[in-house]
Amino acid sequence: MSDPCIFCDIAQGIVPANIVYEDAATLAFIDLRQFHPGHTLVIPRRHFADVRELDEWTGAALMATVARITTAVGKAFPNEGISLWHSIGPAAFQEVPHLHVHIHPRRTDDNFLRVYPGELPGSQPSERDEYAAVLRHHL
């Protein structure tokens, strides 16, 4: 047996959650924390730590559920926008090591989850060329 996982337990019905949608590969449920009403999580039923482990079938199913739930959250709860996020590893503050995508309604100037802390330095074309070459090497 692998380590206990709260999201595997939710997917298997062992731990209760406010499940709003489920299909053969995925489910969606209301997050315990509601900074704005409607914060929802989408997960694959099978345990994957993050997107890097996904097979194509589950990945496609997961994105279909993310799109479906995002559309519903956008209609159901007040918002001027919606943030989607998926964190990988401690530096990105991944709290549960089972792949999950947050769907979070946003309000204008809510000062929540700012992606960039402020003005960022630009980059030189040569840097971008180099980074693209490095990344292509790993694809």
Coarse DSSP helix, strand, coil percentages of the chain, rounded to the nearest 5 percent:
35, 20, 50
Structure tokens at 43: 């997960």
Q: How far is the CB of 85 from Zn ion (least distance, A)?
A: 18
Asked if 49 and 99 touch (Cβ cutoff 8 Å), the reply is yes
**Which phi and psi angles does 6 have, rounded to 5°?**
-60, -35
Binding Zn ion (rule: CB under 5 A), the pick from 20, 31, 47, 63 is 47
Could you tell me the smallest distance in angstroms from the CB atom of residue 83 to Zn ion?
23
The CA distance from 121 to 62, in Å, is 34
The reply to whether 5 sits near Zn ion by the rule CB under 5 A is: yes
Size of the site for Zn ion (CB under 5 A): 5
The window from 24-32, 42-50, 57-65, 82-90 that contacts Zn ion (CB under 5 A) reads 42-50
Name which of residues 84 to 123 contact Zn ion (CB under 5 A): 98
Of 14 and 67, which has the nearer Cβ to Zn ion?
14
- Residue nearer to Zn ion on the CB measure, 11 or 73: 11
- How many Å apart are CA 21 and CA 133, to the nearest integer? 41
Smaller CB distance to Zn ion: residue 12 or 123?
12
Interface with Zn ion by CB under 5 A: which residues?
Answer: 5, 7-8, 47, 98
